[in-house]
Each structure stands twice: as C-alpha cells, then as structure tokens.
Structure 1
Amino acid sequence: MKKVFVAACILLLLGMIGWKVSEPWREAKKEENQLLNTSDAKGIEHRITICGDEWLGYLIFRSPRFRSEMEKRAIAVNFKNEPDFQARFEMLDSGDCDLVCATIDSFLLNGESTNYPGVIVFGIDESYGGDAVIATEGIATLDDLRAENIKGAFVGFSPSEFLLKSQVAHFEIENLKTNLPSFRTDDAQTAYNRLKNGDADFAVLWEPFVSKSLREIPGATRLIDTRQARSVIYDVSIASRSLVSEKPAVVQAITDVYFDTLNYYSSDPEEFRKLAKKDSGESESNADTMLSGIRFLDLKGNRDMINGQGELRLTDAVANITRILVDVGDLSTDPLEGNPRLIVNSGFLQKSSSSMASNASTQAEPLQRFFAPLDETAWDALWEKRTGTLLEKPITFGVGQATIPEEFQQELLEATQKLVHYPGHRIIVQAHVSPGSNKEADLALSQERANAIRDCLIQKGKISEHRVHAVGRGGEEPLAKESGEGLRSWKRRCRRARIYLAEDT
C-alpha cells in the first residue's frame, strides 16, 4: 500500500512539473488560437509553401490574385524565394516545402539524390525567346563554337546553362563539354559584362540581357534562342508526394486556382504588365521584353501536352531532356529507366474545373509545320544563315555506289529525333567523295549519295520532302591529312556526309 502511495505521489509530482514546463507552450498556443479566432485567418485550414525564384514565369504564384483566391478556399500560401535548385528539392523532401517551381532538367538532375520526392502536376511555361546564345563578331554559327580556346559565359546551373548543353548534345560540340565549368558565373550581369568586355566569345543570357547585348555590343549576333530551339526549357509545378497522397484536395485547389488566375490576368494584359513591372523591379520596357520571351501554358496547352495533341507529350519532353543530360555526362544513365511517368501525375489536370480559355501570352509556332517547296536561290540563301551541323560522319559506301550502309541509316534516324526541338528549321544534306581524277564524275556520285541520304530521311525518318535539300560537293573539299595518316585512311575519311540545320524565317 505504501509503495502504491509513493508511486502515486511521484506521478503527481511529474505531472505538476510537466504542467509547469509546458506552460510557455500552452500560453503561446493560447495566443496563437486567440490571434486566429479574432481575425480573418480563423477560416484557414491549410498552409502551403511554394518554393521558386524571381523568374517572371512564376509570377502567377506570387500574384495577389492567386493568394486571395486560395484563401477563399481556406488555404494560405507562402512563396519562398530559393535560387538554388538543389535546396528546393531537399526542402520538398524534408517537408519544408509543399510545391516546387523548377525546370524539368533541374528536377531530373537534382531530384535523383532524394529519389524524386515530388511529381509534376502541370506545366507552367516554356522559355520562348527568353534565353539565347549571343556571340561576338566573327562567330556566325554554332559550328564556330568548336574553335580551340573558345571562351564562354553563363550563369552556372541555370536554364541558360541547360540551353547551351542542349546545343552541345544536338550539334555534337564535343570540345565544350570539358570547358563548361570554367564558363560559369554567379549572375547574368557578370556573364553580360564578360561578353561586352571581350572576356568571352559568346554568352548564354536571358532577357533583358539578350536584347541589351544585341543593342549595345557592336557586332553581337544571336546564334540561337528558345524560339528556335523548342521544348528545351520547360518550367513545371512539382507537388510533394506526401501532399498528393495525404491532401489531394489541396493539390486540386492549387491547380484550379492557378489556371483561373492565369485566365484572369490574360483577360487583362495591362494589369499583368503592371504586375510584372512591379514584381521584377525593371523598367516597363524591360518587363515587357521579359514577358515576351515566356510562353505561359494554360489548361488547354497542358492537356494537349498530356494527350499529345499539337504539343510534344510531357512524358516525351521528359525523355528528350533526360537524353540531353546523359549525352553531356550530367547523368550516367536514365534514372527513370525509360519510364518518365514515374514523375508525372496528370490526374489533377484532367479533373480541373478551371476555364479552358486561352491565355494572352506569346503564341508559339506549332511543333509541326508545313514546308513549302523552295528554289535553288532560296536554298542558297538559307545556307548562308545556317544554324549548325547536326551530324557529320564518314560513310563507307561501296566503290562507285550510293547505297547507304545499314549502320549509317540508324545514325540518320537517331539524328532525326533531335528535329522535334527545331520545328522551324530545314535540313541541308551535303555529301563528299574522296578526290579523284574526274571532277564531273565525283560531283555526280556525291549528288547521288546526297540524294540517297535525303530519300532515307524522307522515307524512314518521316521528314517532309520539301524540308530537305540534297547537295553533292564532289571531291572539292577534302579534309586535311592527319600526321602519319596513310592515303587509304585519308580517302576513307573524305567520303562523308554532313547534315546542317538552317532556320526558315
């Protein structure tokens, strides 16, 4: 009996201590409840944190309209500015963030270490001219970036870096792969300054620095931008898997309110322009320029990406971007093992009750377009403003023959997969033979081989016949002999094909 009494006293004492220790917490909780119950915040049932950066493409999430409409659904929104992509996904994994705004490439690259803690629920925007490769005088095509000791500048680990990497992968600019780390800067102003001061031969910039460089740097030219290189920089909203599984109604509310807000500002572009100016801190003209380089994806555009109607499928975009990251060595293998659906949840898009009204952002050229026939003069003009070499390979044709070897046909078809990124470009095929004694015969044979490659692209690659032009160059442009190279080896290398892309404006 005595033991029971002692035990009861001990429990009572511990309870009193616990009550006293918890008093500050109880007082704080009481004050918090009083604060909530005596204000408009008393109706808030959920609080979510969205992580992104100052990119104007994320402006809808930062807008007063989005916050107020979410509060009507008893959801309070906090937009956290976090420039570092890796930090965003670590916060998503830890629960400190509920939804991340980021590019697809950054998700693939930075989400792997945390086993992809979120899923893409909808697309936000596509860079559409907002990012560009700008070069100084003397650099006319992407091929010129193969020059020894070429110097570049871009913001490290940014969408600009990925734009350059996509060009390195698509146009096989191998020398840049090892040089990329030395080109990185901390901010866009520094990258611009390097280009302007002659410390860089090219820079990858975003607006308003793209327009500023073309306007203020003598001889500066735009090698390529995201109007020409499509489906490369996509921003998407990535909801945490815990939010999707535990609070799907909140994810649905975010989706519905986002597109309702986008439609609201689309119906009043002047208000949206003013909001962009205020949010960016830029002048009105700079803010307008920045907005013009962004193609916001409305509900219809998102559903088209899911269903593959007129747009590149979202899963195909993920697969293509994965391929680029593997090609440049950022990923050793495909972390999704060929199944991009592992990081996509389209159910909230399909259920969205938002209006299907189109938004007022820049309307992009279709990814599939009609190509009218061109005469030789027009093709010659296109050649003068070519973008770069998509493929250059030696081809082992039979002696005096124009039959394409099976292994090269496969390489041709693999090259055509890149064309989805360049819907406004035409294709120029050049074939070369090893120099012989009969120039006319060499020219005729090279034309036959160029025609054979052209026919393969049309028939097996499903390329429009008016999009491809074949040119035989004979043996007039032999390659330089390498040190110690034998005649037979040199002639074999001279028998080659080059496939160029040239934008048809």
Structure 2
Amino acid sequence: MCSTARCCTGRGGAPGVVLFALAESAGGDGIVAQPGLDSLADLSGRVVGLHKSSTSYFFFLTALERAGVDEENLRVREMLSEDMTRAFLAGELDAAVTWQPWLERMARRPGAHVLVSSRDFPRTIVDVLVMRKQMADDAPQVCMGLARAWFDAVDWMQSHPVEANAIIGDALGIAPNRVADMLAGVRFLGREENREFLARSRPGNIFEVADRAGRFWTQRGFIDSHANRGFIAPEYVSGALRGPDRVGR
C-alpha cells in the first residue's frame, strides 16, 4: 500500500486506481539481527542493510518510530535483497530489513534472530491490485470480475491448502512444506476482509493506511501531495459483493 501511494500519486506516469486488497504481511517482513542485538535500540551505530525503494523502508521507519530510535543513528547500507542476504550471512551486516524468502534464509544463520516482524505492525504492508484509471473507467465490469475472481481464489486456497501449496511450490521451485511456512506470514484478504478494509468507519481502513503512506513518501520527496484519496476506488469491491454487473459508489 505504501508503494501504491507513490505509483498512483507520484510524479509522471498514468494515473492509477486501487481496485481491491490482495494480502497483508503478517510476519512475512521483518528485521533480522546478528547475535547480541536484542532490540531495535541495540542497532544504534550498527550497519543495517535496507532496500529504500521498497515497502521495507516504510516498515523499518514505522518500527524505529515506535521504538524511539532515530534513523540517523544507524549506518544504513542500501542494497537489493539478494546482495543483502549474502552480506548478512557473511557477517558484513549487523541487521537487515527484508521479507520472505530472504528473511527465513538470514534467520537460519547461527545465532541470528528476527527482532520484529510485520506481525507486530498490522495494516502496514498491504498488497493491492492497481489498474490504470482510464482502463478502470472504461471497463468497470472487468474490475468487478477481477475482484470476484480473487475472492473465489482466496476461498479455494483456504479450503484446499495442500493443493494450493503444491501449486505455489511448483511455481516458486520450492517444497510445499516451505510454502506453508512462508504463507504463515501472509494474510490473504478475501470478501469480508475487503469489505471491512474499504469501510471508512472501520479502524485501520485503507484510507487511513493510504494517508500514513502518503505522508511518509511526501516527507521524503517521492510525491508532491497525498491529500487526494481519489486513487482508491471502493465501488468495485462494493459492486462485486452485490453481484454481477452492479457498480455503485
């Protein structure tokens, strides 16, 4: 969601709209540390690997803010996840901010452990489906059809976890049991979850998340303003939940 605020409201490019939410990280992202570093405060003066152009940066600063730790007191090394993993396993990094499957790989280093994860920060990293606004305006039935297809897929996965893990494992080239471990850190958002997430009256709704993300990227100069919430289009979820061929605002 935090990167969506950038792509939908950032400088240049075609305007986009959020159609519905796909999943929420619930442990799939985290900050992994070497032995002897037992809290975020212990990272002061330490070398931390981070990919600043990803949602990890938003998650990282959210965690630091809660812990009362200033980013300026850390020695941040910007790098991609693959390079970060190699550096952490070689002992060149004191900590790293990453996501699965790299989080699991780093945590297997002797003595390494996860300090905090996205499970501790709900509604911080949320994946959404974005479509170009012009296309969504021209084909609302397609938008609703995509939403219904996603909701059906989530229902099927929850009813057939063994089969689903086998399909995902085949696509990723990993064993189904490893898929199950990785998905333990992901919460897929189906019909009811989308209904609640897109309801303005609910705490932690998509508009609140977008505001937080918008402020974050505005402060760092990636977007000019986050005041316009028009890139969130809840009418497609509403229409999909009511049934075929019904869009309403």
TM-score (norm 2): 0.86
Unpaired segments ≥5 residues, structure 2: 244-249
Kindly report which structure 2 residues correspond to 1:12-51, keeping only aligned pairs within 5 A, or say none.
Answer: none
Instruction: State the alpha-carbon separation in 1 of the partners of residues 123 and 73 from structure 2.
Output: 21
Contact 1:168-1:174 within 8 A present in 2 as well:
yes
1:261 to 2:153 alignment: yes
One-letter amino acid of the structure 1 residue matched with residue 53 of structure 2: F
Equivalent position to 1:174, from 61, 70, 75: 70
When the two chains are superposed, the root-mean-square deviation of aligned CA atoms in Å is 2.5
Equivalence for 1:346:
234
Equivalence for 2:106:
213
Contact 1:132-1:225 within 8 A present in 2 as well:
yes
Instruction: State the alpha-carbon separation in 1 of the partners of residues 121 and 70 from structure 2.
Output: 19
Instruction: State the alpha-carbon separation in 1 of the partners of residues 102 and 36 from structure 2.
Output: 20
Distance 1:345 1:175, change over 3 A: closer
Equivalent position to 2:226, from 306, 317, 336: 336
Equivalence for 2:95:
202
Instruction: State the alpha-carbon separation in 2 of the partners of residues 319 and 226 from structure 1.
Output: 19
1:244 to 2:132 alignment: no
1:185 to 2:79 alignment: yes
Kindly report which structure 2 residues correspond to 1:217-296, keeping only aligned pairs within 5 A, or say none.
Answer: 217-296=109-188
Instruction: State the alpha-carbon separation in 2 of the partners of residues 297 and 252 from structure 1.
Output: 16
Distance 1:248 1:177, change over 3 A: farther
Kindly report which structure 2 residues correspond to 1:395-414, keeping only aligned pairs within 5 A, or say none.
Answer: none
Equivalence for 2:6:
109
Instruction: State the alpha-carbon separation in 2 of the partners of residues 221 and 208 from structure 1.
Output: 15
Per-residue Cα deviation, 1:290-318 (whole angstroms, up to 9, x for no partner): 21111100111011012256651110111
CA shift, 1:353, in A, is 4.3
Contact 1:243-1:251 within 8 A present in 2 as well:
no
CA shift, 1:170, in A, is 4.0
Instruction: State the alpha-carbon separation in 1 of the partners of residues 97 and 149 from structure 2.
Output: 34
1:143 to 2:41 alignment: yes
Instruction: State the alpha-carbon separation in 2 of the partners of residues 288 and 177 from structure 1.
Output: 37
Distance 1:354 1:190, change over 3 A: farther
Report which of the two structures shows the higher radius of gyration computed on alpha carbons: 1
Contact 1:116-1:343 within 8 A present in 2 as well:
no
Kindly report which structure 2 residues correspond to 1:307-456, keeping only aligned pairs within 5 A, or say none.
Answer: 307-308=199-200, 312-326=204-218, 329-331=220-222, 335-337=225-227, 339-340=228-229, 342-353=230-241
Contact 1:273-1:288 within 8 A present in 2 as well:
yes
- 3-state SS of the aligned residue for 2:82? helix
1:163 to 2:59 alignment: yes
Contact 2:6-2:223 within 8 A present in 1 as well:
no
Kindly report which structure 2 residues correspond to 1:458-477, keeping only aligned pairs within 5 A, or say none.
Answer: none
CA shift, 1:108, in A, is 1.9
Contact 1:168-1:176 within 8 A present in 2 as well:
no
Q: Which has the higher contact order (CA 8 A, sep 6+)?
A: 2
- 3-state SS of the aligned residue for 2:38? coil
Aligned residues, how many?
Answer: 242
Distance 1:314 1:137, change over 3 A: same
Instruction: State the alpha-carbon separation in 1 of the partners of residues 164 and 99 from structure 2.
Output: 20
TM-score (norm 1): 0.44
Distance 1:226 1:354, change over 3 A: farther
Contact 2:50-2:79 within 8 A present in 1 as well:
yes
Kindly report which structure 2 residues correspond to 1:1-150, keeping only aligned pairs within 5 A, or say none.
Answer: 104-111=1-8, 112-114=10-12, 117-147=15-45, 150=46
